[in-house]
Amino acid sequence: MSTYALVIDHESCWGCKACEVACKQENNPAEGVKFIYVSEDGPKMVHGKLDFVFHVNVCRHCDDPPCADVCPSDAISKRDDGIVVMDYEKCTGCQSCVDACPYDAIAFDGSKEIAQKCNLCRHRVDKGLIPACADNVCLAHCIYFGNPDEIEKLIAKKKAAQLCE
Amino acid sequence: MSGEGDNMTEFTYSNVDREMEVYGYDSVVKSYCRMCHGGCGVLVYVKDGKVAKIAGDPDCPINHGTLCSKGLASTQLAYHPDRLTYPVKRVGPKGSGSWKRISWDEALDTVAERIMKYKEQAGAESIVMGYGTGRENEAVIYRFANLLGTPNVLTAGHFCYGPRIATGIITCGSNPVVDYENHPKCLMVWGNNLVISNPDEYKGEPFSVSLEAGAKLIVVDPRLTRIAARADIWLQLRPGTDSALALGMLNVIVNEGLYDKEFVEEHVYGWEAFVARVNEYPPENVERITWIPRDKIREAARLFATTKPAAIQWGVAIEQQINCADNNRALLALMGITGNIDARGGQVLFKPPKIRTVSEFGAHRMLPKEQAAKRLGGDRFRLAGNFGIINPKCVWDAILEGKPYPIKMLFFISSNPVMTRANAREVYRALQAVAFMVVSDFFLTPTAELADMVLPAATWLEMDYIGDFWKRHGYILPRRKVIQVGECRSDHEMLNDLAHRVGQGEHWWDSFEGGLDYILEPMGITWREFKEMGPIRGEVTYQKYQKKGFSTPTGKFELYSTLLEKWGYDPLPQYREIPESPVSTAELHKEYPYLLITGMRSPGFFHTENRQVRWLRELHTDPVVEIHPEAAKREGISDGDWVIIESPRGKVRQRAKLFAGIDPRVVAAQHAWWFPEKKDPDHGWEESNVNILTDNAYDGCDPAMGATNVRVLLCKIYPEADKGERS
């Protein structure tokens, strides 16, 4: 069984937020609810140079997801292919998962009174389609979907080629 | 990309067949977005006659399948519940928000009647046509105005893109465009944030790819953008001193012999005078003007001049200043003397396919000479005047003072000048005072609320057009109509119809499809044929000047402009101190101790647009002003506070963001904020509108181009809570 993940090359991210809107178009969560969002880190001095980067924040689909552990209604589970899925039907809105997530990647939909998060567009993945945010939306081509080990190799190769120039 | 293991799922990007199958879409239409100036290829998926999803088109050479937040949210714009979907006329007092639905026939007959009346009573010049930023309706609006006989087309052209075209043409025959497809080895991004803004020609994707391919990067910007953070050299200049910096770099390149000697010997005009001019800008002096250390200026000049091919990505920032034309001309000189003009992977004078040009379609030759001579401000701003461009204050003054002649009618198409032109209160007064005003737009904007009649404009999803017709990368793109929303009509169809009602019929067509055929005719194809095709590009060739010279009066690359000289201007680029600064207005600076810059862009918005589009507004709830943490501390401002920004012209409120990527002497506000969610007819136009603060006095405008300086001024800033009421 292949395992799936989203991997973000933050060094390349421009903060354009196209991924946020691509996710909205696909999943259309309520106003203010975001499964993926871009935030700024910095500016701060790094090696004597003022630097800042953008962070694309989204569910990490953890190997041992703390959100699943704390959910009293077993609404969160990890699939064999690595996707951590939240079942909105089972969610009672207790928000334990929101507090347990170390990455701030779980949102709360106040209108429906349930938690929501990135399910890695499983409805697309299961039909052979790439998740919306990763489907050639990003103008920096910095969002990768697939097997995490292979992606890391791909990114390392890309960066090495850049340095050779 | 392929998955491993037992299920062996094949994943491919932009998998159209599978999207169709999985979601049961009825059709997919290839078209071209125009949420900014246009150009990105899109796939529009349709279900039950409605747009269901928008994605980038991987076959498009501009975006290669990627798409920005604006393009992705186009559906929310097209189907927005607040959208105007039929013509309305005013039934209460001006600005009262009382509107009545009318038919297109009543609307266009009324407009035609007014046009004929004012033309007869006060001359065609008393009717001002206008558009805002480029929405691919330029050629059709100019055609209508020129055939009507009015020389007055009020656009953003005096301080956006128009200067690139005008200075490019007088210097080297066209606007040189970065050749991203052949990956420059050095990119100098000058006051541009093209990865989140709305650049012309190429967008952020090809830039990203060139950078990932290893291009060296120099960034000139008063703010630490992410592009600046990634740069090999970041030049954090004092806002508004761009031409001084460019002249300083030219000084280094000339005196260190780093220029392309063969190009200079064979192909430039005015070298000796140019050298004398750049010698007035040694790096030591330029350091004092620009705040950039001399060694850094030298380092950047050397990197740019010695890495081949190199290119400069420029944009609107340097044009909205008193040094507009000279900023552009100094940058053109950098492109020229380093031999990067019309070089593969450098900066290319691309040729369009063999179609009718924007200029020919615009019917500029049909405007009688005696009418052209009446162009408002034509005597004062002679570079602009020669390119059919006018300065906005000339129009407001003519309305408010009747000089040099009265203006009776304004016809704004996709323009919101109350938000986007300097000295907004004067703009507002002029719009209130004019006898008759028509606006064509998507929504009842603060400008439209002052109109007598508002026409519902089509979005890009609702029109057939030849995309990028007016751009200079050499491509034309078939934009295909996908849907009809209410009674909305494209600006092209609307003007084609109106033209018949004002006696211009012989120069127009039964429907605007005839106009598209007319544009394409020299290529021997019709619109119906082009609609079945993909992008078409003119032949790409380099160093055309070797055989043909440059298309300028001397046939050379004019470092020394013979046309500027003829029109009575300094033929060489110079630096003028900006109108309000610690240097030019030291006394004022004591009271207003910060330099305010106003051009910071936000992904999702396009000038005044999209603040009612939910997916985009969610990206930015409030207007934001950036201030350095040290300055904020001094002023008692905390992150997220509502603050007052005050200039000698007025006050507005925005929310402070503490940002160490800006000089403590500078603050950066956002422009064009209004609040569509406020349902009264003002829509909060005064609250956060940075143009309440800007000035539009003639002597602060670029003397040749008439560009209004909206980018750099003096201000004070303080917390809203503890320092009294807003005016």
**Residues of B with Cβ-Cβ distance to A13 under 8 angstroms:** 226
Give the HSE-up count for residue B407: Cα atoms under 13 Å, Cβ half-sphere.
32
Is B668 among the domain residues?
Answer: yes
Crossing angle between the packed helical segments B283-290 and B294-306, to the nearest 10 degrees: 110
Task: Identify the pLDDT of residue B1.
Answer: 43
User: In angstroms, what separates the C-alpha of B450 from chain A's closest C-alpha?
Assistant: 31
Interface test with B, best of A11, A19, A25 (most B CBs within 10 A): A25
What is the interface pTM, i.e. ipTM, of the complex? 0.97
Interface test with A, best of B47, B64, B69 (most A CBs within 10 A): B69
User: In angstroms, what separates the C-alpha of A34 from chain B's closest C-alpha?
Assistant: 9
Tens of pLDDT, residues A116-144: 999 999 999 999 999 999 999 999 999 99
Is B322 among the domain residues?
Answer: yes
Q: What is the CATH number of the domain that holds B691?
A: 2.40.40.20
pLDDT at residue B727 greater than cutoff 70: no
Confidence of residue B4 (pLDDT cuts 50, 70, 90): very low
Average pLDDT in chain B: 96
Which member of A34, A130, A139 has the closest CB to residue B13? Answer: A130
**Residues of A with Cβ-Cβ distance to B22 under 8 angstroms:** 124, 127, 129
Q: How far apart are CA B555 and CA B558, in angstroms?
A: 8
Number of domains in chain B: 3
**Contact criterion met (CB < 8 Å) for A145 and B69:** no
Interface test with B, best of A2, A12, A16, A109 (most B CBs within 10 A): A16
Q: Are residues B515 and B622 in the same domain?
A: no
Q: Which residue of A has its CA nearest to B658?
A: A43
Tens of pLDDT, residues A56-104: 999 999 999 999 999 999 999 999 999 999 999 999 999 999 999 999 9
Which member of A14, A34, A127 has the closest CB to residue B18? Answer: A127
Which member of A18, A22, A130 has the closest CB to residue B11? Answer: A130
Tens of pLDDT, residues B248-283: 999 999 999 999 999 999 999 999 999 999 999 999
Q: Are residues B143 and B218 in the same domain?
A: no
pLDDT at residue B166 greater than cutoff 70: yes
Is B63 among the domain residues?
Answer: no
**Contact criterion met (CB < 8 Å) for A2 and B22:** no
Which member of A13, A128, A162 has the closest CB to residue B9? Answer: A128
Tens of pLDDT, residues B461-495: 999 999 999 999 999 999 999 999 999 999 999 99
Is B657 among the domain residues?
Answer: yes
Is B414 among the domain residues?
Answer: yes
pLDDT at residue B5 greater than cutoff 60: no
Identify the structural domains of chain A with CATH numbers, from first to last: 5-164 (3.30.70.20)
DSSP secondary structure code for residue B216 in this structure: E
Tokens of B87: 């013509």
- Cβ(B712)–Cβ(B700) below 8 Å: no
Q: Are residues B714 and B657 in the same domain?
A: yes
**Residues of A with Cβ-Cβ distance to B52 under 8 angstroms:** none
Q: Which residue of A has its CA nearest to B616?
A: A21
Q: What is the CATH number of the domain that holds B382?
A: 3.40.50.740
User: In angstroms, what separates the C-alpha of A120 from chain B's closest C-alpha?
Assistant: 14
The domain boundary residue, chosen from B348, B383, B407: B348
Tens of pLDDT, residues B314-345: 999 999 999 999 999 999 999 999 999 999 99
Interface test with B, best of A36, A55, A137, A144 (most B CBs within 10 A): A137
Q: What is the CATH number of the domain that holds B201?
A: 3.40.228.10
Q: Are residues B227 and B371 in the same domain?
A: no
Confidence of residue B6 (pLDDT cuts 50, 70, 90): very low
Q: Are residues B408 and B290 in the same domain?
A: no
Q: Are residues B183 and B133 in the same domain?
A: no
Q: What is the mean pLDDT of residues B628-650?
A: 98
Q: Are residues B379 and B509 in the same domain?
A: yes
User: In angstroms, what separates the C-alpha of B646 from chain A's closest C-alpha?
Assistant: 26
The domain boundary residue, chosen from B288, B320, B348: B348
Which member of B3, B4, B66 has the closest CB to residue A137? Answer: B66
User: In angstroms, what separates the C-alpha of B323 from chain A's closest C-alpha?
Assistant: 29
Task: Identify the pLDDT of residue A1.
Answer: 60
**Contact criterion met (CB < 8 Å) for B22 and A124:** yes
Which member of A21, A34, A53 has the closest CB to residue B73? Answer: A21
**Residues of A with Cβ-Cβ distance to B227 under 8 angstroms:** 14
Tens of pLDDT, residues B509-558: 999 999 999 999 999 999 999 999 999 999 999 999 999 999 999 999 99
Tens of pLDDT, residues A12-48: 999 999 999 999 999 999 999 999 999 999 899 988 8
Q: Are residues B343 and B366 in the same domain?
A: no
Q: What is the mean pLDDT of residues B125-134?
A: 96
- Cβ(B78)–Cβ(B459) below 8 Å: yes
Is B42 among the domain residues?
Answer: no
Nearest alpha-carbon partner for B14 in A6, A25, A129, A151: A129
**Contact criterion met (CB < 8 Å) for B72 and A140:** no
Q: Return the number of CB contacts < 8 Å for A and B.
A: 158
User: In angstroms, what separates the C-alpha of A69 from chain B's closest C-alpha?
Assistant: 28
Q: What is the mean pLDDT of residues B78-85?
A: 98
Q: Which residues contact B266 (CB under 8 A, 6 or more apart)?
A: none
Task: Give the rounded percent of residues in chain B with a pLDDT score beyond 70.
Answer: 98
**Residues of B with Cβ-Cβ distance to A121 under 8 angstroms:** none
| Beta-ladder partners of B311 | B187
Number of CB atoms found within 10 A of residue B18's CB = 17
Task: Indicate the SS3 state at residue B498.
Answer: helix
User: In angstroms, what separates the C-alpha of A73 from chain B's closest C-alpha?
Assistant: 30
For A93-100, the CB contacts below 8 A with 24+ separation are A96/A70, A96/A71, A96/A72, A97/A67, A97/A68, A97/A70, A97/A71, A99/A70, A100/A66, A100/A67, A100/A69, A100/A70
Tens of pLDDT, residues B354-376: 999 999 999 999 999 999 999 99
**Contact criterion met (CB < 8 Å) for B229 and A164:** no
Task: Identify the pLDDT of residue B258.
Answer: 98
**Contact criterion met (CB < 8 Å) for B196 and A138:** no
Is B9 among the domain residues?
Answer: no
Confidence of residue A164 (pLDDT cuts 50, 70, 90): low
**Contact criterion met (CB < 8 Å) for B3 and A146:** yes
pLDDT at residue A163 greater than cutoff 80: no
Which member of A21, A140, A141 has the closest CB to residue B72? Answer: A21
Q: Are residues B296 and B209 in the same domain?
A: yes
Task: Identify the pLDDT of residue B692.
Answer: 98
The DSSP string of B606-633 is BTTBTTT-HHHHTT--S-EEEE-HHHHH
Interface test with A, best of B10, B18, B66, B610 (most A CBs within 10 A): B66
Q: What amino acid is encoded at A90 in this protein?
A: K
Is B25 among the domain residues?
Answer: no
- Cβ(B63)–Cβ(B80) below 8 Å: no
Q: What is the mean pLDDT of residues B112-130?
A: 98
Q: Are residues B323 and B436 in the same domain?
A: no
**Residues of B with Cβ-Cβ distance to A14 under 8 angstroms:** 195-196, 204, 208, 226-227
**Residues of A with Cβ-Cβ distance to B197 under 8 angstroms:** none
Which residues constitute the domain of residue B622? 586-719
Q: How far apart are CA B394 and CA B404, in angstroms?
A: 9
Q: Which residue of A has its CA nearest to B52?
A: A25
Q: Are residues B136 and B180 in the same domain?
A: no
Scored b (16 or more CB within 10 A) or e, B516-541 reads: bbbbbeeeebebeebbeeebbeeeee
Q: Are residues B319 and B372 in the same domain?
A: no
Confidence of residue B8 (pLDDT cuts 50, 70, 90): low
**Residues of A with Cβ-Cβ distance to B296 under 8 angstroms:** none
